[in-house]
Homo-oligomer: A and B are copies of this chain.
Amino acid sequence: MKYIIILLFAAFVSNAQVKKEQLNLMPWPQNINLTAGNFAINKNFKINVTGNPNSRIFAGATNFLRRLDGRTGLFFGQGFISKINQTPTAELQINCVQAGNIGLNQDESYKLEIQENKILITAASDLGALHALETLLQMLQNDSSKYYFPTATISDTPRFTWRGLMIDVARHFQPVDVLKRNLDAMAAVKLNVFHWHLTDDQGWRIQIKKHPKLTDLASDGLFYTQEEIKSVVKYAGERGILVVPEIDVPGHASAILTAYPEMGSRTNASTLYEIERNAGIFNPTLDPSNPKTYQLLSDIFDEVCPLFPGAYFHIGGDENEGKDWDANPKIQKFKKKNKLETNHDLQTYFTMQLVPMLKKHGKQLMGWEEIMTKDMSKQAIIHSWKGPNEGLPAGHSVAAAAKNGYQTVLSNGYYLDLMQSVNDHYLNDPIPHNSTLTTEERARILGGEATMWTELVTPATLDSRIWPRTAAIAERLWSSQDIVDLESMHNRMNATSYRLEELGITHIKNKDVILRNISNNQEIKALADFSNVCEPLKIYSRNAGGTEYQMYSPLTLFADACTPDAIDAHNFNKATDNYLKNKNSENKRELVAFFQKWIATNKDLVQLGLNAPLVQPILPLSKSLSEISQQLIATIENKQASNSSKMNELLEKCNSKNHADVELAVYKSLKKLVNN
Q: Please name all residues of chain B whose beta carbon is closer than 8 Å to the beta carbon of A227 when the two chains form the complex.
A: 225, 227
Indicate if the CB atoms of A553 and B72 lie closer than 8 Å. no
Q: Please name all residues of chain B whose beta carbon is closer than 8 Å to the beta carbon of A610 when the two chains form the complex.
A: 144
Most chain B beta-carbon contacts within 10 A, residue among A71, A77, A176: A71
Indicate if the CB atoms of B73 and A557 lie closer than 8 Å. yes
Indicate if the CB atoms of A550 and B79 lie closer than 8 Å. yes
- Interface size on A, as a range, is 35 or more
Pick the contact of A549 from B75, B142, B609 — CB < 8 Å?
B75
Indicate if the CB atoms of B177 and A73 lie closer than 8 Å. no
> Please, how many angstroms separate the alpha-carbon atoms of A517 and B75 in the complex?
15
Q: Please name all residues of chain B whose beta carbon is closer than 8 Å to the beta carbon of A460 when the two chains form the complex.
A: 504
A509 interface residue (CB < 8 Å to B): yes
Q: Please name all residues of chain B whose beta carbon is closer than 8 Å to the beta carbon of A147 when the two chains form the complex.
A: 613
> Please, how many angstroms separate the alpha-carbon atoms of A188 and B425 in the complex?
43
Indicate if the CB atoms of B614 and A73 lie closer than 8 Å. yes
Q: Which of A84-92, A151-159, A495-503, A643-651 contacts B (4 or more CB under 8 A)?
A: A495-503
Indicate if the CB atoms of A501 and B513 lie closer than 8 Å. yes
B-contact 0/1 string along A83-125, CB 8 Å cutoff: 0000000000000000000000000000000000000000000
A442 interface residue (CB < 8 Å to B): no
> Please, how many angstroms separate the alpha-carbon atoms of A6 and B553 in the complex?
41
Q: Please name all residues of chain B whose beta carbon is closer than 8 Å to the beta carbon of A69 when the two chains form the complex.
A: 553-554, 556
Indicate if the CB atoms of B66 and A552 lie closer than 8 Å. yes
Indicate if the CB atoms of A79 and B557 lie closer than 8 Å. no
> Please, how many angstroms separate the alpha-carbon atoms of A59 and B222 in the complex?
12
A23 interface residue (CB < 8 Å to B): no
From 548 to 594 in chain A, residues with beta carbon under 8 angstroms from any chain B beta carbon are 549-550, 552-554, 556-557
Indicate if the CB atoms of B498 and A521 lie closer than 8 Å. yes
Q: Please name all residues of chain B whose beta carbon is closer than 8 Å to the beta carbon of A70 when the two chains form the complex.
A: 517, 554, 556
Indicate if the CB atoms of A142 and B72 lie closer than 8 Å. no
Indicate if the CB atoms of A502 and B517 lie closer than 8 Å. yes
Pick the contact of A509 from B66, B510, B613 — CB < 8 Å?
B510
Q: Please name all residues of chain B whose beta carbon is closer than 8 Å to the beta carbon of A146 when the two chains form the complex.
A: 613
A540 interface residue (CB < 8 Å to B): no
Q: Smallest Cβ distance from A45 to chain B, in angstroms? A: 14
> Please, how many angstroms separate the alpha-carbon atoms of A539 and B408 in the complex?
61
A50 interface residue (CB < 8 Å to B): no
Indicate if the CB atoms of A144 and B552 lie closer than 8 Å. no
Q: Smallest Cβ distance from A228 to chain B, in angstroms? A: 8
Q: Please name all residues of chain B whose beta carbon is closer than 8 Å to the beta carbon of A557 when the two chains form the complex.
A: 73
Q: Please name all residues of chain B whose beta carbon is closer than 8 Å to the beta carbon of A506 when the two chains form the complex.
A: 509
Q: Please name all residues of chain B whose beta carbon is closer than 8 Å to the beta carbon of A142 when the two chains form the complex.
A: 520, 611-613
From 407 to 437 in chain A, residues with beta carbon under 8 angstroms from any chain B beta carbon are none
A80 interface residue (CB < 8 Å to B): yes
> Please, how many angstroms separate the alpha-carbon atoms of A60 and B142 in the complex?
50
> Please, how many angstroms separate the alpha-carbon atoms of A72 and B518 in the complex?
9
Nearest residue (CB) in B for A221 is: B59
A638 interface residue (CB < 8 Å to B): no
Q: Please name all residues of chain B whose beta carbon is closer than 8 Å to the beta carbon of A612 when the two chains form the complex.
A: 142, 144
> Please, how many angstroms separate the alpha-carbon atoms of A557 and B509 in the complex?
18
> Please, how many angstroms separate the alpha-carbon atoms of A266 and B143 in the complex?
50
> Please, how many angstroms separate the alpha-carbon atoms of A557 and B72 in the complex?
10
Q: Please name all residues of chain B whose beta carbon is closer than 8 Å to the beta carbon of A550 when the two chains form the complex.
A: 75, 77, 79
A490 interface residue (CB < 8 Å to B): no
> Please, how many angstroms separate the alpha-carbon atoms of A118 and B609 in the complex?
28
A344 interface residue (CB < 8 Å to B): no
> Please, how many angstroms separate the alpha-carbon atoms of A143 and B220 in the complex?
35
From 134 to 149 in chain A, residues with beta carbon under 8 angstroms from any chain B beta carbon are 142-147
Nearest residue (CB) in B for A606 is: B144
A635 interface residue (CB < 8 Å to B): no
From 482 to 529 in chain A, residues with beta carbon under 8 angstroms from any chain B beta carbon are 495, 498, 501-502, 504, 506, 508-510, 512-513, 516-518, 520-521
> Please, how many angstroms separate the alpha-carbon atoms of A241 and B79 in the complex?
36
Q: Smallest Cβ distance from A62 to chain B, in angstroms? A: 8
A616 interface residue (CB < 8 Å to B): yes
A668 interface residue (CB < 8 Å to B): no
A393 interface residue (CB < 8 Å to B): no
Pick the contact of A512 from B144, B220, B509 — CB < 8 Å?
B509
Q: Smallest Cβ distance from A670 to chain B, in angstroms? A: 27
Q: Smallest Cβ distance from A150 to chain B, in angstroms? A: 16
A175 interface residue (CB < 8 Å to B): yes
A277 interface residue (CB < 8 Å to B): yes
Indicate if the CB atoms of B71 and A517 lie closer than 8 Å. yes
B-contact 0/1 string along A587-628, CB 8 Å cutoff: 000000000000000000000011111101000000000000
If A144-B613, A227-B227, A613-B147 touch, does A553 touch B75 (CB 8 Å cutoff)? yes
23 A-B pairs within 8 Å (CB atoms) are namely A67-B554, A69-B553, A70-B517, A70-B554, A70-B556, A72-B613, A72-B614, A73-B556, A75-B553, A79-B550, A79-B552, A142-B520, A144-B609, A144-B612, A144-B616, A147-B613, A177-B177, A460-B504, A495-B521, A498-B516, A498-B521, A506-B509, A512-B512
Given contacts A501-B513, A509-B513, 9 further A-B contacts (CB under 8 A): A69-B556, A70-B517, A71-B556, A73-B556, A73-B613, A144-B613, A495-B521, A501-B516, A501-B517
Please provide the 3 A-B residue pairs with the shortest distance between their CB atoms, ordered closest to farther: A70-B554, A177-B177, A509-B509
